[in-house]
């Protein structure tokens, strides 16, 4: 799929010479709430045609070279699909560009972050998880690959550590997740309430200091970190979340201040959306990721 068709105004590149590589993972078989996240990559690409290639502060994004690998479509079974997703993610990491994975539900982070950890092994890797939920369940609905489990699966990788996992925006828990947090005080966990109380700057300092020393960080953005007022189109919305204004700044600063080497954006569910509000919020975040990459490229 040529980037020319979508992502209007950006330069289309090959995997080896691009700044950013996009891959859609249209899978929503692991949700506990509403489905529809499988339609997100298609909807986001479609809407990208209407977005001008400038950041919200007027920075020109037309120099950014983007390779859009297209979607990895689910064909057979869950296990072989995740193996394929992992291999495709690994290949994109090998190409040297920064991958941006478009989910799909949050379970897709399981094979994606596994590929990430494997690519950087034995170097330690970190994770920033922006979400209403901590996704720290060992099992959910009898399933280890539920969208409630990705961070537990990430912590099973050899080169990950609890202190290198940093969560922001959390405001709903299962009993097991609260117990896990209590048993592991080194876990970086900022609730949505604390984010509002302490403010962006203080949380950024805490995040940067928690992940200091790492050379590769994975950024996982669940759109339900946003308040449903800003992002109604998601399977498990939770009131009391961040505003789009806050999320854009949070993602932009995370990209600039930490060595983010891969990003995913998950849980946008177009069939549950209203006037594409959620997809448009996601695209705003995506274009600020582009802007961060452009400014990092110029350094
Ligand atoms: Mn999640």
pLDDT > 90 in the chain, percent = 93
Which positions ≥6 away from 272 have C-beta within 8 Å?
34, 36, 232, 233, 234, 235, 278
pLDDT digit string, tens, across residues 116-173: 999 999 999 999 999 999 999 999 999 999 999 999 999 999 999 999 999 999 999 9
Distance 232 CA to ligand 1 centre (A): 15
Q: Give the model's pLDDT for residue 105.
A: 96
Does a structural domain hold residue 6?
Answer: no
Distance 40 CA to ligand 1 centre (A): 15
Q: For helices 78-94 and 109-120, what crossing angle results, to 10°?
A: 40
Q: Give the model's pLDDT for residue 37.
A: 97
Does the predicted model carry a pTM greater than 0.85?
yes
Does a structural domain hold residue 122?
Answer: yes
Does a structural domain hold residue 2?
Answer: no
pLDDT at 1 over 50: no
pLDDT > 70 in the chain, percent = 98
Does a structural domain hold residue 130?
Answer: yes
For residues 67 and 89, give the distance between their C-alpha atoms in angstroms, rounded to a whole number.
13
Does a structural domain hold residue 275?
Answer: yes
What's the pLDDT band for 203 if we cut at 50, 70, 90? very high
**Partners of residue 218 on adjacent β-strands:** 127, 262
Residue 169's CATH number: 3.40.800.10
Torsion-angle region of residue 269: left (phi > 0), alpha (psi -120 to 50) or beta? beta
- What one-character DSSP code corresponds to residue 70? E
pLDDT at 3 over 50: no
Tell me the DSSP string of 4-26.
TTSSTTSEE--GGG-SEEEEEE-
What's the pLDDT band for 75 if we cut at 50, 70, 90? confident
* Average pLDDT of the residues in 56-62: 96
pLDDT at 8 over 90: no
pLDDT at 60 over 60: yes
Ordered alpha helix ranges (H), 8-132: 40-48, 78-94, 109-120
Does a structural domain hold residue 3?
Answer: no
* Average pLDDT of the residues in 55-67: 96
Which positions ≥6 away from 42 have C-beta within 8 Å?
24, 26, 71
Which positions ≥6 away from 67 have C-beta within 8 Å?
3, 12, 13, 14, 15, 18, 20, 21, 22, 95, 97
Angle at the Cα of 90 from the Cα atoms of 19 and 213, rounded to 5 degrees: 70
Q: What is the mean pLDDT of the chain?
A: 96
Residues with CB under 5 A from ligand 1 (ion): 106, 131, 133, 135, 222
Distance 47 CA to ligand 1 centre (A): 23
Q: For helices 40-48 and 277-297, what crossing angle results, to 10°?
A: 70
pLDDT digit string, tens, across residues 93-114: 999 999 999 999 999 999 999 9
* Average pLDDT of the residues in 69-81: 93
The domain of 177 spans 11-297
Does a structural domain hold residue 4?
Answer: no
User: Domain count of the chain?
Assistant: 1
Distance 130 CA to ligand 1 centre (A): 8
């Amino acid at each position: 799929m040529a980037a020319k068709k979508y992502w209007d105004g950006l330069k289309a590149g090959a995997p080896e010479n691009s700044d950013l590589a996009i891959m859609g993972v249209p899978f929503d078989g692991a949700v506990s709430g509403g489905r529809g996240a499988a339609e997100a990559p298609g909807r986001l690409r479609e809407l990208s045609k209407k977005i001008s290639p400038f950041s919200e502060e007027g920075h020109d994004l037309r120099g950014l070279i983007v390779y859009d690998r297209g979607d990895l479509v689910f064909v057979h079974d869950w296990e072989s699909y995740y193996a394929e997703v992992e291999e495709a993610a690994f290949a994109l990491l090998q190409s040297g560009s920064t991958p941006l994975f478009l989910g799909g539900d949050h379970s897709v982070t399981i094979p994606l972050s596994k590929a990430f950890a494997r690519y950087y092994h034995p170097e330690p890797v970190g994770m920033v998880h922006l979400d209403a939920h901590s996704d720290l369940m060992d099992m959910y609905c009898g399933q280890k690959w539920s969208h409630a489990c990705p961070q537990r699966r990430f912590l099973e990788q050899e080169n990950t550590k609890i202190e290198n996992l940093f969560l922001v925006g959390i405001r709903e828990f299962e009993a097991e997740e609260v117990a896990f947090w209590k048993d592991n005080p080194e876990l970086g966990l900022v609730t949505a309430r604390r984010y509002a109380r302490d403010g962006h700057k203080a949380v950024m300092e805490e995040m940067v200091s928690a992940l200091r020393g790492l050379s590769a960080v994975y950024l996982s953005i669940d759109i339900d970190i946003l308040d449903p007022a800003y992002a109604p189109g998601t399977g498990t919305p939770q009131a009391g979340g961040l505003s789009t204004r806050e999320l854009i700044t949070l993602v932009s600063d995370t990209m600039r201040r930490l060595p983010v080497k891969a990003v995913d954006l998950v849980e946008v569910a177009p069939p549950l959306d209203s006037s594409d509000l959620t997809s448009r919020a996601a695209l705003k975040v995506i274009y600020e990721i582009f802007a961060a990459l452009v400014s990092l490229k110029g350094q």
